[in-house]
């Protein structure tokens, strides 16, 4: 078997190393960064191929010999890249989290006989898988809430935050309107709104605020109540609102000293070094999925908790582990044929298949990623 991974950034590299370490597949890393490719060739014994995917009309020559493609490019490139992979008639697992509706590619994927798993990271991704699974173990589900975030283990002024993936993708989360379901109705709320404080036994108090994380769940889960909130250290939401309301996150170019610049691009560039994790700097990923419904005629709540931290042995961030390993595990399921549904497949479809969910948990356990499950009966 051969698999091509498009994108060798922080998360892409984790996927490449996992596949090289845990499978017998021949892995090809594709990226424009020659230094990153050489490092992966040395550390993981994979084959590197230098290419600028922005300048390639068709990815077919890159993936023609591959049995599967993993797409780990930035979000703004994701939709078109996945489309090109589908046109090349290759199964694909995607973590680019592009803003477009993935179901626009559903018919194309079916016509080409392609399994295309999208949004396959931690959130979206793992939280969707859990949501899909819980709908199979509760008789009825009435609500879904996900609280999730990636944070540095050590808080440092002024941001008390480090971006464990592209800063511009993080900033866009703070501007994109949020889809939420309340009382059976879909409503739109601004990002960074409805801040609440939540206590986590291992971590202390974090703040949670609205972001647009439901994505495909809005379409695939017919629940009366659904929301996703991002977790940060307290105070972050207010600081980012100041940036947003002052225009620093605007997409439209402004004239500056005879030149033109997009404020969000400049802000991202200025923050990049400040938000980058230093070598050996530890991070953590925190997630809580809370779903309420009924089981055997009694009200019940199902809770999944995840706290994962930087792995010193493999020098892999928690976000790269929880995002990248989820994609890699699902990629293995697709390669093996244990998950073979054709068309656009959001991660909740994985969760609905018992064997796929159990395989994911077993693979997590092997990587020391642990999900704590709690089912509570309610009066």
Q: Per-residue pLDDT for 310 more than 80?
A: yes
Q: What is the CATH number of domain 126-309?
A: 3.30.360.10
> Given a cut of 90, is residue 42 above it in pLDDT?
yes
36 SS3 class? helix
- Asked if the model's pLDDT at residue 242 lies above 90, the reply is yes
Q: Is 304 helix (H, G, I), strand (E, B) or coil?
A: strand
**Share of residues in the chain with pLDDT > 90 (%):** 82
In which element (H, E) is residue 292 found?
strand 283-295
154: burial class by Cβ within 10 Å (0-12, 13-18, 19+)? exposed
Domain boundaries, the chain: 2-121+320-369, 126-309
**pLDDT band for position 378 (cuts 50, 70, 90):** low
pLDDT in tens, 98-147: 989 999 999 999 999 999 999 999 999 999 999 999 999 999 999 999 99
Hey, what are 369's tokens?
């990623």
Given this model, what pLDDT does residue 134 score? Answer: 96
205 forms beta bridges with: 199
pLDDT at 379: 59
pLDDT one-digit tens code per residue, 169-180: 788 889 999 999
Residue 356: pLDDT band (50, 70, 90) is very high
Q: How far apart, in whole angstroms, are the C-alpha atoms of residue 315 and residue 59? A: 31
CATH superfamily of the 2-121+320-369 domain: NAD(P)-binding Rossmann-like Domain (3.40.50.720)
- pTM for the full predicted model: 0.93
Q: Is the pLDDT of residue 57 over 90?
A: no
**Residues 6+ away with beta carbon under 8 Å from 7:** 30, 31, 53, 71, 72, 73, 74, 96
């Amino acid at each position: 078997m051969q698999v091509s991974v498009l994108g060798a950034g922080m998360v892409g590299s984790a996927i490449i190393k996992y596949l090289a370490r845990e499978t017998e597949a021949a892995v090809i890393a594709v990226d424009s960064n020659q230094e990153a490719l050489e490092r992966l060739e040395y550390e993981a014994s994979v084959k590197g191929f230098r290419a600028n995917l922005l300048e390639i009309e068709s990815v077919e020559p890159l993936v023609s010999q591959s049995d599967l493609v993993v797409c780990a490019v930035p979000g703004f490139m994701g939709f078109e890249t996945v489309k090109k992979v589908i046109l090349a008639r290759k199964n694909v697992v995607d973590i680019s989290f592009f803003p477009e509706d993935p179901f626009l590619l559903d018919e194309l994927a079916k016509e080409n006989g392609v399994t295309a798993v999208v949004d396959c990271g931690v959130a979206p991704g793992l939280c969707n898988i859990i949501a899909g699974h819980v709908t199979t173990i509760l008789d009825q589900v009435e609500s879904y809430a996900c609280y999730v975030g990636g944070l540095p283990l050590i808080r440092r002024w002024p941001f008390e935050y480090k971006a464990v993936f592209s800063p511009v993708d993080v900033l866009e989360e703070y501007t994109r309107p949020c889809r939420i379901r309340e009382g059976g109705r879909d409503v739109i709320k601004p990002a960074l709104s409805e801040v609440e404080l939540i206590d986590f036994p291992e971590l202390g108090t974090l703040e949670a605020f609205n972001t647009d994380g439901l994505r495909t769940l809005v379409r695939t889960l017919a629940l009366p109540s659904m929301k996703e909130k991002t977790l940060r250290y307290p105070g972050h939401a207010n600081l980012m609102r100041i940036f947003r309301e002052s225009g620093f996150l605007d997409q439209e170019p402004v004239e500056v000293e005879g030149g033109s610049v997009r404020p969000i691009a400049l802000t991202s560039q200025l923050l990049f070094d400040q938000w980058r994790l230093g070598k050996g700097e530890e991070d953590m990923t925190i997630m809580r999925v809370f779903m309420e419904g009924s089981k055997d005629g009694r009200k019940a709540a199902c809770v999944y908790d995840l706290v994962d931290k930087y792995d010193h042995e493999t020098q892999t961030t928690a976000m790269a582990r929880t995002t990248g390993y989820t994609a890699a595990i699902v990629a293995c399921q697709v390669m093996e044929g244990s998950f073979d549904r054709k068309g656009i497949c959001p991660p909740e479809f994985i969760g609905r298949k018992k064997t796929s969910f159990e395989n994911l948990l077993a693979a997590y356990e092997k990587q020391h990623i642990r999900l704590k499950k709690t089912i509570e009966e309610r009066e």
